[in-house]
Amino acid sequence: MKSEERKTALQRHRDILIVTIDYILEKIASEDLPKDGFDAVSGYYIKQKQDVEKLFETRKLYNLQQRLIKLTELPIRRGDLTFNEYIKQKTRWTIDIFEPLRVQINEIIEQNKINSKKQVNDLMIMLNIYQQQSVDQSKIDMLKTLLISYFDGIKMTESPKL
């Protein structure tokens, strides 16, 4: 990676991470947590911000990339469709936290089989996203069919209890 590209990537990851942490803190603040619970969680994320700044200053792009993957797990698991737009509004950067998930889902669809609990979770997240977006019903039905087949297969392999 060229020096200028690396500098841009470092700045992008730093900006997105800082705003991601703010976003998570806003979401947590809106939940009904006891004060001491909120203080502990917010303290953790404030420390995360400090760590991001240190990683940026020491030019550790890989570590920033890994931190971004980790910190976007919550909005991904929640199927939070407002996250990408929030990032774009607060920074000049565009991000699609669901793109890797779409790639994984397409691979599952191509093999026409679910092979793990992680894939089940990924399909459930994508099903939730599709339902929020009013996507073509055939896509929703395809994911549901894969999930039903998976769970039917589990039932068939379990031995009956006598």
pLDDT at residue 85 above 60? yes
pLDDT at residue 159 above 60? no
Q: Give the contacts of 62 (CB within 8 A, at least 6 positions apart).
A: none
What is the residue-wise DSSP string for the chain?
Answer: --HHHHHHHHHHHHHHHHHHHHHHHHHHHTS---HHHHHHHHHHHHHHHHHHHHHHHTT-HHHHHHHHHHHTHHHHHTT-TTHHHHHHHHSS----TTHHHHHHHHHHHHHTS--SHHHHHHHHHHHHHHHHHT--HHHHHHHHHHHHHHHHHHHHHSPPP-
The predicted pLDDT at position 136 comes to 85
13-49 residue pLDDT tens: 999 999 999 999 988 887 766 766 667 888 899 999 9
Of 132 and 162, the structure prediction assigns the larger pLDDT to: 132
Q: Which tokens belong to 102?
A: 């779409």
| Residue 162, CA distances (Å) to 154, 155, 159 in order | 18, 15, 9
pLDDT at residue 99 above 60? yes
pLDDT at residue 104 above 60? yes
The predicted pLDDT at position 33 comes to 66
The predicted pLDDT at position 39 comes to 77
